[in-house]
Amino acid sequence: MFTQKAKYALRALVVLADWRAYGPLPIQQVAERAHAPHKFLEAILLELRRGGVLRSTRGQSGGYALAMHPADIRLGNVIRIVDGPLALIACAIRLLMRQVRDATAAILDAANLDTLRAQPALAAQ
C-alpha cells in the first residue's frame, strides 16, 4: 500500500525520533540508519521539512531533527506530505473503495510516530 518513498520517509522519521535527544543528525547518517538511498532521502527530508515535520540546521554539527514531539507526528500527515492524498486506487469513485480509503485514513491519522516506534518489526519494513 505504501510507496517506497513513504516507507523511506517513515523509516527516516523513526531514526530521527530515536536520535531525538542528541540533536540534529546528518543526512548521511539518517540514510545509513534508515537503509535508504542518500539522494532519494535528501528529497524526501526536504519535503518533510517544508511540511513542518522536520527542521534542519546547517554547519558542521547540522542535520535534520524532528520539529515536534513524535507523538504529534501523525502517519497520515507524513504520507500525505510525501505521496499526496490517501487513496488505495487512483480514482475512489465507488462507495466501497471510498469506505476503505476513509477507514485507512482514520487509522493512519490516529497513529503517530510513537505508535510506529512501538512496533519495530513494522518500522523496519
pLDDT attached to residue 90? 60
What tens digit of pLDDT does each residue of 6-27 get?
999 999 999 999 999 999 999 9
Q: With H, G, I as helix, E, B as strand and everything else as coil, classify residue 54.
A: strand
**Contact at 8 Å (CB) between 55 and 49?**
yes
- Nearest alpha carbon to residue 14 among 84, 61, 52, 70: 70
State the virtual CA torsion across 30, 53, 65, 13 in degrees, nearest 10. -30
Q: What CATH code would you report for 4-123?
A: 1.10.10.10
pLDDT tens, per residue, the chain with 125 residues = 689 999 999 999 999 999 999 999 999 999 999 999 999 999 999 999 999 999 999 988 889 999 999 999 999 999 999 999 887 666 656 778 888 888 989 999 999 999 988 886 644 45
